[in-house]
Amino acid sequence: MSKTTPSAVPKRPPSLDGLVDRIGEISTLPDVLAAVLEAFEDPNASAGRLTQVVSSDPALAVRVLRRVNSAQYALRSRLTTIQQAIAYLGMQKLRDLAVTASVSQVFVQDETVGPYSRRRLWQHMVAVAVCARLVATKLQIPQFETAFLAGLLHDMGIILEDQHVHPLFQRVIQSIRAGRRLTDAEQQWLGFDHTTLGHRVADKWRFPPVIRAAIRFHHMSANYREPDADLVRCVEVANKICSCKLLPSVGKDLLGSGKAAFRALEIRKKDLIALLADFKQELQREQSLFEMYRDPAP
């Protein structure tokens, strides 16, 4: 693990438009990520098409197969192709693994800035993904599987800030304190926050609409009123639970209360207690996802 040393801070924040364009050109997030999401969003996509998309990145395909063949799934015989993995896991689960494996590689190189750690951010994102899917399942929301991806990608904007405006991102982290929201610190130093940046880039990369909505509104789902709003509320609830109980995104819980999302989903105290117990079990079941960035390169 490495700690950052102070970097020269630009005299003025970057323009949001210019930063979005630059990220679209040079981002280290794998290009196949957008293609995987787009393919799985297509209701008419065949197993053959999905196999082709995942297999187009050999390193990603190897990481997915390595995970499917891990002790977690206790297979009797080893799977050797993505097509076999789809047949065994189903398309939704394979999609979750492919996206998780793709994003995890951003976190191979750890770095800390004050209370923030890239690895802890990764753990937060996985935990929110697992929790959002659990909440959506409990509430019988039809898109409960998509809740996992929405939770996994909700803080994509923080990754992008860390990667592409790192000196200013350091100042953001160094300025956070109890009682002050992360988004306020971002506005001070950057002129925008991670929800706006993440949403703009996700739109440029043609992420599915509900994923973009979760990135933009996971701190304020009350402002999102489309038919899939409950799924975005699930991400906000999961984000709050993980930030309070387990793993805040930047090392401190800097969120608001989130009460509106809990009320909208009719999650009461007794429901929350049961949810937390089930969440603990889900985290144990999905433990291998937290370590996915450790998968060695093929």
34-39: long-range contacts, CB 8 A cutoff, minimum separation 24: 34/205, 34/206, 34/207, 36/95, 36/98, 36/99, 36/102, 37/99, 37/149, 37/206, 37/207, 37/208, 37/211, 38/206, 38/208
- Whole-angstrom CA distances from 241 to 84, 102, 103, 129 are 36, 25, 22, 12
Domain ranges of the chain: 16-29+109-294
Say what the pTM is.
Answer: 0.90
* pLDDT tens-digit readout, 56-104: 888 889 888 988 888 777 788 899 999 999 888 888 888 888 899 889 8
**Dist. CA 249–CA 161, nearest whole Å:** 13
Residue 3 pairs in a beta bridge with: 112
3-class SS shares of the chain: helix, strand, coil, % to 5: 65, 0, 35
Give 3-25 pLDDT, tens digit per residue: 555 556 666 778 999 999 988 77
The pLDDT of residue 253 is: 64
CATH number of 16-29+109-294: 1.10.3210.10
